[in-house]
Chains A and B, each alone.
Chain A
């Protein structure tokens, strides 16, 4: 009997020791982040989901569940805005890939010193706040702006061109703001590329176009995918770009949400727009994961 209780005692001490050894440091390191994420990510998003089923009388929320907000989402005016927003995001992504890929390629193939310099020169503009840089574009592209003044002085045009406050200007601003988010993942994937493979393809008789299409492009596709996710998603929400470059004329999904939470003060409808946006992005991310994309590539930029 004594032996058994001693054994029990020992195992208790052991368990207690194990508890002290593992559980306390585990709790100490993990609880802050867990509490933070539950209170400030999980709870707010759940609350927004709940909000999307409420309504408002213009001042206060009405706590009665309804799906009227979701019916409102199908309003033709909004459908038009989703379409415009989607097209803009798609164009931003495509133009970003076309402009960014060659640049990322040159950067990856440059000598070590030059590579660091090219990277630094790429990042410096992004240390100036994007709103300031967009205002710089406004100064350039405006009706009496730098570009129009120059073109008129050179007698190339008679009347100033309408560049600012067009869809093209919004696209330019969006591509400009998101450029490094496209270049950096593409650069990372080209940088990892084993260039002897390209030489091998060349030795086997493939010309440079064939080598690019059959070797380089498939091997660097993960970088293009990450870049696409990193550019496409923000370009749906960056309402300030269309505010500044589009003069508020062209609305995006982001503008719809902003408007409901600020000026229109209809939070439930704004919440429903947000739920719609989250669902579209979940679909996008699941496509990304299914095609072999790694979530880790999205975090470290």
Chain B
């Protein structure tokens, strides 16, 4: 009896300790973000001491054309590379799961390379080949580079979805007279769509966050937001950058909560 109580007590303490541990981890994860949000309201220009509360950086942000332009570039490259990667990746995953052919192993191996090698190696390789083939450095080279590291992730996500796909459904549709293209859009696509969407989201996230590959494949005048921050880090990041980050953070949190609730209801 006493022993059981003791064990119960020990379990309770352990549970409290693990909760405390998780809390500390979350503090570690959120501390710098809390500072960023707080200092976006700081009346001092230097991000060293909190001097007073102001909203003015949120106003000034919209006069900082270079900063806004860098964010626009990030979004343009993000959308363009996501479209390319989703299209190329989805077709590749579909073709590779449906057909057997020579050289499949090579494509498979090539797909793993951008995932496994350090980003810096992919970055300098793309820089070297763009330079060799005289592709102008700017939004186009950035988009090509981003699509390159996003394609494998789309393939893997769609593969995961296709793994549980019953191919006889497709055959049934074709036996019933549907053409190949009609079968793909009416039967296959609805089944793999969640994988395609997940792959697209992953691509977009990877693209807008990318630092290293963009660093090597950008050209003069086409900074992305991360590159702009990198440039500012040397002289000191101004609070309007923190203001923009705060806005982006809250927009993504709201979007995440909404989608979470949506999928939770289903």
Binding site for B on A (CB under 8 A): 22, 25-26, 28-30, 32-34, 36-45, 47-48, 51, 99, 102-103, 106, 116, 118, 120-140, 142, 144-146, 149, 176, 179, 229, 233-234, 236-240, 243-244, 254, 257-258, 261, 267, 270-271, 274, 277-278, 281, 285, 295-296, 298-300
Interface size on B, residues (CB 8 A): 87
B230, CB-defined interface residue at 8 Å: yes
Residues of B within 8 A of A281 (CB): 116-118
Are the C-beta atoms of A120 and B256 separated by less than 8 Å? yes
10 pairs, A vs B, C-beta closer than 8 Å? A28-B91, A36-B151, A39-B129, A41-B113, A42-B110, A103-B21, A106-B22, A127-B249, A133-B32, A257-B121
B265, CB-defined interface residue at 8 Å: no
Known contacts A48-B121, A106-B22, A271-B128; 5 further A-B pairs (Cβ under 8 A): A33-B111, A129-B245, A176-B28, A234-B119, A298-B115
Residues of B within 8 A of A135 (CB): 32, 36, 47, 229, 233, 237
B144, CB-defined interface residue at 8 Å: yes
- Rounded to whole Å, the gap between the CB of A35 and the closest CB of chain B is 9
- With A25-B180, A261-B127 as contacts: A131 and B260 at CB distance below 8 Å: no
Residue of A at shortest CB range from B144? A40
Are the C-beta atoms of A45 and B120 separated by less than 8 Å? no
The B interface, classified by DSSP as helix, strand, loop or mixed, is helix
Are the C-beta atoms of A128 and B249 separated by less than 8 Å? yes
Residue of A at shortest CB range from B107? A34
- With A36-B151, A135-B233 as contacts: A102 and B156 at CB distance below 8 Å: no
> Which one of A47, A240, A244, A270 contacts B212 once the chains associate, using CB atoms below 8 Å?
A240
Residues of B within 8 A of A118 (CB): 22
> Which one of B31, B116, B242 contacts A285 once the chains associate, using CB atoms below 8 Å?
B116
- Rounded to whole Å, the gap between the CB of A88 and the closest CB of chain B is 14
Are the C-beta atoms of A25 and B95 separated by less than 8 Å? yes
Are the C-beta atoms of A134 and B32 separated by less than 8 Å? yes
Q: How far is the CA of A13 from the CA of B122 in the complex (A)?
A: 47
Residues of A within 8 A of B103 (CB): 34
Are the C-beta atoms of A44 and B36 separated by less than 8 Å? no
Residue of B at shortest CB range from A51? B128
Bitwise interface map of B from 188 to 213 toward A, beta carbon under 8 Å scored 1, else 0 = 00000000000000000100110110
B92, CB-defined interface residue at 8 Å: yes
B253, CB-defined interface residue at 8 Å: yes
> Which one of B33, B88, B153 contacts A136 once the chains associate, using CB atoms below 8 Å?
B33
> Which one of A44, A140, A299 contacts B35 once the chains associate, using CB atoms below 8 Å?
A140
> Which one of B118, B211, B248 contacts A236 once the chains associate, using CB atoms below 8 Å?
B118
Are the C-beta atoms of B49 and A106 separated by less than 8 Å? no
Are the C-beta atoms of B132 and A47 separated by less than 8 Å? yes
B67, CB-defined interface residue at 8 Å: no
- Rounded to whole Å, the gap between the CB of A92 and the closest CB of chain B is 14
Residues of B within 8 A of A258 (CB): 120, 215
Are the C-beta atoms of B128 and A136 separated by less than 8 Å? no
Are the C-beta atoms of B209 and A299 separated by less than 8 Å? no
Q: How far is the CA of A39 from the CA of B130 in the complex (A)?
A: 11
Residue of A at shortest CB range from B95? A29
Residues of A within 8 A of B96 (CB): 29-30
Are the C-beta atoms of B91 and A128 separated by less than 8 Å? no
> Which one of B28, B229, B264 contacts A129 once the chains associate, using CB atoms below 8 Å?
B229
Residues of A within 8 A of B155 (CB): 33
B152, CB-defined interface residue at 8 Å: yes
Are the C-beta atoms of B120 and A131 separated by less than 8 Å? no
Residue of B at shortest CB range from A124? B253
- With A47-B129, A261-B127 as contacts: A40 and B209 at CB distance below 8 Å: no
- Rounded to whole Å, the gap between the CB of A233 and the closest CB of chain B is 6
B30, CB-defined interface residue at 8 Å: yes
Bitwise interface map of B from 110 to 144 toward A, beta carbon under 8 Å scored 1, else 0 = 11111111111110111111001000000000001
Are the C-beta atoms of B47 and A139 separated by less than 8 Å? yes
Residues of B within 8 A of A45 (CB): 113, 117, 121, 125
Residues of B within 8 A of A131 (CB): 211, 226, 229-230, 233
- Rounded to whole Å, the gap between the CB of B142 and the closest CB of chain A is 13
Are the C-beta atoms of B121 and A274 separated by less than 8 Å? yes
Q: How far is the CA of A289 from the CA of B157 in the complex (A)?
A: 21
Q: How far is the CA of A261 from the CA of B123 in the complex (A)?
A: 10
Are the C-beta atoms of B107 and A239 separated by less than 8 Å? no
B185, CB-defined interface residue at 8 Å: no
Residue of B at shortest CB range from A233? B118
Across the A-B interface, give the 6 residue pairs with the lowest CB-CB distance, nearest first.
A29-B95, A136-B32, A237-B118, A44-B125, A33-B92, A299-B156
